[in-house]
Amino acid sequence: MYAQMVKTGVDHIQSKEEMSPEERAFQDRVDQDIKIEPKEWMPEAYRKTLIRQISQHAHSEIIGMQPEGNWITRAPTLERKAILLAKVQDEAGHGLYLYCAAETLGVSRDDLMEQLNSGKAKYSSIFNYPTLTWADIGAIGWLVDGAAIMNQVPLQRCSYGPYSRAMIRICKEESFHQRQGYDIMMKLAKGSSEQKAMAQDALNRWWWPSLMMFGPSDAESVHSAQSMRWKIKINSNDELRQKFVDQTVPQAEYLGLTVPDPDLKWNAERGHYEFGEINWDEFYQVIAGNGPCNRDRLRTRVKAYEEGRWVREAADAYAAKKAARAQAKAA
């Protein structure tokens, strides 16, 4: 997901008896679906975990602009270019909503930027894969945004008010992203044999990384159990992955494309698709910084930040000048 394997710092789930009166009151409110707001008391581990989760999510939105930005200058038509620009701009907006939500927990924007630019912060594994052809832009919208929606829709109900509100805004805009991606895939799938081959190639390369986005099985994870108790995680990774596969396979069939998994088959008894083994070694390699594009993504990010420095400084100088003038006038 956009936030993967978020640690909570706990080693076991506390029973209500183990909790302090404050913790118990907090958990009771969460259990009753009462939203937690910024200045209210919250366990330190809840606050820290949320900062980790929300900032990782925000960083993913920011880095996520790069694979798609790669095709803005080469979009096949002016209309496609305008659409892609709007989509990439949305990703920037989503990053900003999320940074604001994280800041309500007492972390500064400068700290968050520093964590991203120094490579200390994590972002989703998916954005370390390259966009080699135009069909990849279709596959990202359809599969990557599709997977993100699976996770973000339930998070609209999460316990932390500002995060929940950011998710509501994001989900409203995300549906456009997925549909424009599928629209690109439909066009290619109905096109020439070369175009169809391009669409198939994109599906081949993006399918497995999309399934990895949900993260390894967390059925046994104490962190996931704690996050679910706090209602900052609503479904298990396996649950969401299954839902994604069930939803996406018929969409691939409609396109006349083949999902690159020989083990994929419908299980009528379970009412779900069965799918093959995921290569988790690859996932851990990408997370550890050894994916195809990790270094390039960070370098591009830092370069953009450094090259924007003079703009930020000019804006600062202008604001200071105006403030000084207003003060002189008042005196």
Specify the stretch interacting with other proteins by CB under 8 A; choose among 8-16, 94-102, 131-139, 289-297. 94-102
- Interface stretch with other proteins, choices 58-66, 103-111, 213-221, 238-246 (CB under 8 A): 103-111
The one-character DSSP state at 263 is T
Residues 45 and 28: their CA atoms lie apart, in Å, by: 17
CA 91 to mean position of chain CA atoms: 10
Under rule CB under 8 A, residue 305 binds other proteins? yes
Does residue 304 interact with other proteins by CB under 8 A? no
Stretch that binds other proteins, among 2-10, 192-200, 269-277, 308-316 (CB under 8 A): 308-316
Of 20 and 108, CB closest to other proteins: 108
State the Cα–Cα distance between residues 217 and 196, nearest whole angstrom.
33
Q: Under the criterion CB under 8 A, does residue 329 sit at the interface with other proteins?
A: no
SS3 for 128? helix
Two tokens, residue 137: 């832009």
Q: Does 34 bind other proteins (CB under 8 A)?
A: no
279 binds other proteins (CB under 8 A): no
CB 240 within 8 A of CB 214: yes
Distance, CA of 206 to CA of 144 (rounded, Å): 8
- Nearest distance in Å: CB 273, other proteins: 35
Q: Is 103 in the site for other proteins (CB under 8 A)?
A: yes
Q: Which stretch binds other proteins (CB under 8 A): 108-116, 120-128, 273-281, 282-290?
A: 108-116
In the complex, minimum distance from the CB of residue 109 to other proteins, in angstroms, rounded to a whole number: 6
Q: Quote the least distance from Cβ 216 to other proteins, whole Å.
A: 32
Residue whose CB is less far from other proteins, 265 or 299: 299
The answer to whether residues 257 and 200 touch, using CB atoms and an 8 Å cutoff, is yes
300 binds other proteins (CB under 8 A): no
Binding status of residue 20 toward other proteins by CB under 8 A: no
Q: Please give the Cα distance from 144 to 71 (Å, whole number).
A: 16
DSSP state of 272: E
The rounded distance, in Å, linking the Cα atoms of 137 and 134 is 6
Piece in contact with other proteins (CB under 8 A), picked from 37-45, 66-74, 146-154, 283-291: 37-45
239 closest CA partner among 153, 162, 171: 153
Window contacting other proteins (CB under 8 A); options: 8-16, 92-100, 139-147, 266-274: 92-100
Question: Which SS3 state, helix, strand or coil, does residue 34 take?
Answer: coil
- Which residue type, as a one-letter code, is found at position 244? F
**DSSP assignments along 86-155, one per residue:** HHHHHHHHHHHHHHHHHHTTT--HHHHHHHHHTT-S---GGGGS---SHHHHHHIIIIIHHHHHHHHHHH
Q: Which of 15, 21, 33, 39 binds other proteins (CB under 8 A)?
A: 39
Structural Rg of the chain based on CA atoms: 22
Instruction: Tell me if 22 contacts other proteins by CB under 8 A.
Output: no
Binding site for other proteins (CB under 8 A): 37, 39-41, 86, 89-90, 93, 96-97, 100, 103, 108-110, 113-114, 117-118, 165-166, 169, 173, 302, 305, 309, 312, 315-316, 318-319, 322-323
